[in-house]
Amino acid sequence: MKADVAITTVNLSRRRFVRNSTLLSGGLVLGSVLPWEKLVAAAGAAEDLEPNALIAVRTDGRVVMQFTWNELGQGALTSLAAVVAEELCVTRDDVDVESPIWEPKYGYNATGGSQSMRNSWDPLRKAAAAARVMLVAAGAAHLGAAPGDCKAEDGHVVGPGGRRVPYVDLISAASVLEVPADPPLIPRSEHRIVGTRYPRRDTPSKVRGEPVFASDITKPGLLRAAIRRSPVPGGKLRSVDDAAARAIPGVRDVITVGDRVVVLAADTWTALRGREVLRIEWDDGEYAAMNSADTWAAMKARSAEPGYVLRNNGDVTTALAGAARVVRAEYRAPMIAHAAMEPSTCTAHVHDGVCDLEVPTQMPASVHRGVAEALGIHDIRVSSTWVGSAFGRRLFPDHAVDAALVSQAVGGPVQVVWTREDEMRHDFYRPCSLHLLAGGLDVDGRVVALDHTVVASPIGARDPGAAAARADEGVMRGVSNSPYAPSSYRATHAPMLTGMPLGYWRGVFDVQNAFVQESFLDELSQAGGVDPVELRLAMLAPDARLRRVVEEAAVRSGWPHASGPGRTVGFACHECFGSVGAQVAEVSLDGDRPVMHRIVSVIECGPAVNPDAVRAQMEGGAAMALSTVLRERITWKDGRVEQGNFDDYRILRCGEMPEIETHILKSDRPIGGVGEPVVPPTAPAVCNALSRARGARIRELPLG
């Protein structure tokens, strides 16, 4: 694609994949002059330079990058193309992007866990550097010079005396050279693009309304499908009366697929109207009586039973017994929904032993696997559309599986469209968790013991064969691997299955664990009369990575002073997904109503490929986390989710958004993620400030 238009979906050629699926072994001799005539003769007819599966330099001089992730709004498309431009010594506008139809050979790239840049940084740089080295070698031969006397610059190879030859004249000759196994990378100190500010390449096309999202797809003979599912997880279909639905003009058919009832029409509105008048009797199954109050009671009971200790430094029991003061607390973090702006949609066409899917997804491999298992066929072609937000919801293939099964049943193309209520009531929710904590202080207010038990269900524990009683490192992220190191520290997981469909929400367990741990540390600082920042620094090793952002956030925010009268401040920090961050929040109270004024956010993430994209993530992450502080919560009654739309599942409004002041620290560390590390510190920073303003500790979310 051009720099300002949407992604083009293509298939990689067999030749490109077979030859280039890895950075091939073998070396390119750079110390000698290669005869240009021999290179031209060996090249034969002009062909693209394709040193690997990720990069190609076309015969017209355009650079093409294969984008094997998904653009969810995080800006990966723009930043990864900039990495390629940097290593190939071309401009950003010289790089086009293709998004291949996913196949198993591309691996299980999941756009989540803040991985897209972290996992592509080195491979993309090496891929582009290999092409650059080959072009320089070909250019040196063309100029009759040694490769060591030549360099790449602005899409040219420059030789002695300033003589230049454009890449476009070198493609054929370079394409026959061996691919260097370990090409030299351009030093960070010489970067011209990486680390500078530049606009997102998808913005102009989005302003023009050009990108195709899942619900935009149309094709001849396409039927729209609206599906009724059991309102209770695991419920079964007993009977259906579809007479009223069939009587609606435009309804083509009503079918059942497993325990789903599907209304088919030529347009979405008609299909939804037909769905609403279906008369269905469900067998609610084992979760018919499930409700939120009973779940919390069961979690409380589970907390009194033994759990699995994942970290045990020192002797916590003895340290607590000998502490000058012991603080104990119980915290709760609720179940929440993804509330993605784009409800789930998928277009499927099963034909001739093949299933073609056009679907917004974070994990094409998951879609491929889920649909293949459901249909009993392997030839699944997954084409990723633009995604209207996701935050972990699109890691699951349920909407694609539904569309594929319906298409197989009707023998034609089908588009399954979810409503907002479908999305809210059939989500894979962020798990709720209950936390029991104890902290011991010495006479100077220093922390000598921490004991943290987390009661929560592992994500995926409802899957067949999952063990109900096992420790889960994912649940304990930010607790068992905390950089805090008091002399005695115990972290325990008490797993408990809840029967609820659970999934990955932005930041996963790091978010709720950071809310609890960072809030409890604030409690300890108050109890011991120690500044919250100093209390944290005292528990960090001198070389701890987190130490720098703690100190920087304090300085840049003016800690412990607020920037305006009547305000209180709160501090929090966290380390996850390869980065570290800290925040200071300023709040006040209007009666009992919290007012958010300012958040100072600091991150250290290694090289910031595009600082504007990092800042956008820092601001968006704070907004999303703040929304969960104020009012987001999913509750159950009689096995059914009680919330259905943004009227009863309210999210942050524009007028409630505080000023976000962002600081990106320069760093020589390996590249880290930025989508998720910015979320965990927000809730505790805000709640610590509000707790001081109210004079009462906040131990449960949301506030409203």
pLDDT (tens digit per residue) in 636-659:
999 999 999 999 999 999 999 999
- Indicate whether 701 belongs to any domain: no
Q: Which of these three, 387, 417, 447, is where a domain ends?
A: 417
How far is 468 from 298, CA to CA, in rounded Å?
A: 14
Is the whole model's pTM more than 0.75, yes or no? Answer: yes
With b for 16 or more beta-carbon neighbours within 10 A and e for fewer, the 688-703 pattern comes to bbbbbbbeebbbebbb
User: 490 and 455 share a domain?
Assistant: yes
Arithmetic mean of pLDDT, 507-536: 97
Residues of the chain by 3-state class (helix, strand, coil), percent to 5: 35, 25, 45
**Does residue 484 or residue 459 have the better pLDDT?**
484
3 state SS of 428:
coil
Q: Which of 108-117, 359-368, 448-457 has the lowest mean pLDDT?
A: 108-117
Residue 132 in this model has a pLDDT that exceeds 90: yes
Q: Which residues contact 525 (CB under 8 A, 6 or more apart)?
A: 445, 531, 532, 535
Determine the structural domain holding residue 325 and report its residue range.
292-335+429-694
Q: Band the pLDDT of 238: cuts 50, 70, 90.
A: very high
User: 352 and 321 share a domain?
Assistant: no
H, E, C per residue of 460-512: CCCCCCCCCCCCCCCCCCCCCCCCCCCCEEEEEEEECCCCCCECCCCCHHHHH
Q: Band the pLDDT of 71: cuts 50, 70, 90.
A: confident
Tell me the angle at which helices 364-375 and 398-410 cross, rounded to the nearest 10 degrees. 40
- Indicate whether 1 belongs to any domain: no
**Does residue 43 or residue 65 have the better pLDDT?**
65
User: 535 and 498 share a domain?
Assistant: yes
Residue 53 in this model has a pLDDT that exceeds 90: no
User: 542 and 656 share a domain?
Assistant: yes
User: 573 and 497 share a domain?
Assistant: yes
Determine the length of the chain: 704
Per-residue pLDDT of 542-591, as tens digits, reads 999 999 999 999 999 999 999 999 999 999 999 999 999 999 999 999 99
3 state SS of 272:
helix
Q: Band the pLDDT of 85: cuts 50, 70, 90.
A: very high
Q: Band the pLDDT of 323: cuts 50, 70, 90.
A: very high
Using CB atoms within 10 Å of the CB of residue 376, give its burial: 0 to 12 exposed, 13 to 18 middle, 19+ buried. Answer: exposed
- Indicate whether 3 belongs to any domain: no
Structure confidence at residue 300 (pLDDT):
97
Arithmetic mean of pLDDT, 251-277: 97
- Indicate whether 699 belongs to any domain: no
Q: Which amino acid is at 449?
A: A
Residue 163 in this model has a pLDDT that exceeds 80: yes
User: 266 and 375 share a domain?
Assistant: yes
- Indicate whether 56 belongs to any domain: yes
CA distances, 70 to each of 109, 115, 389 (Å)? 9, 11, 11
Q: Band the pLDDT of 244: cuts 50, 70, 90.
A: very high
Structure confidence at residue 52 (pLDDT):
83
Structure confidence at residue 4 (pLDDT):
36
Mean pLDDT of the chain: 91
User: 200 and 232 share a domain?
Assistant: no
**Which residues on adjacent β-strands are paired with residue 414?**
223, 348
Tokens matching residue 493? 């997981």
User: 525 and 596 share a domain?
Assistant: yes
Domain containing 80 — which CATH number? 3.30.365.10
Residue 28 in this model has a pLDDT that exceeds 60: no
Structure confidence at residue 110 (pLDDT):
81
Structure confidence at residue 105 (pLDDT):
64
Structure confidence at residue 151 (pLDDT):
97
- Indicate whether 508 belongs to any domain: yes
Using CB atoms within 10 Å of the CB of residue 612, give its burial: 0 to 12 exposed, 13 to 18 middle, 19+ buried. Answer: middle
In percent, the amount of the chain with pLDDT more than 90 equals 82
Q: Provide the total of helices (H) and of strands (E) in the chain, helices listed first.
A: 18, 27
Evaluate whether 579 touches 680 at the Cβ level (below 8 Å): no
Tokens matching residue 600? 């100072």
Structure confidence at residue 15 (pLDDT):
37
Evaluate whether 307 touches 458 at the Cβ level (below 8 Å): no
Spatial CA neighbour of 667 closest among 608, 583, 602: 608
- Indicate whether 703 belongs to any domain: no
Evaluate whether 200 touches 73 at the Cβ level (below 8 Å): no
User: 518 and 561 share a domain?
Assistant: yes
User: 406 and 533 share a domain?
Assistant: no
Residue 351 in this model has a pLDDT that exceeds 50: yes
User: 270 and 324 share a domain?
Assistant: no
Per-residue pLDDT of 596-605, as tens digits, reads 999 999 999 9
In percent, the amount of the chain with pLDDT more than 70 equals 91
**Does residue 111 or residue 611 have the better pLDDT?**
611
Residue 44 in this model has a pLDDT that exceeds 60: no
Give all strands (DSSP E) within 104-233, no chain letters.
151-153, 156-158, 164-166, 223-228
Residue 25 in this model has a pLDDT that exceeds 50: no
- Indicate whether 2 belongs to any domain: no
Backbone angles phi, psi at 598, to 5 degrees: -155, 140
**Which residues on adjacent β-strands are paired with residue 415?**
224, 347
Q: Band the pLDDT of 393: cuts 50, 70, 90.
A: very high
Arithmetic mean of pLDDT, 401-410: 98
**Does residue 42 or residue 537 have the better pLDDT?**
537
Structure confidence at residue 389 (pLDDT):
85
Residue 24 in this model has a pLDDT that exceeds 50: no
Structure confidence at residue 16 (pLDDT):
40
User: 265 and 237 share a domain?
Assistant: yes
Q: What total number of domains does the chain contain?
A: 3
Arithmetic mean of pLDDT, 7-21: 38
Q: Which of these three, 354, 387, 417, is where a domain ends?
A: 417
Q: Which of these three, 151, 185, 207, is where a domain ends?
A: 207
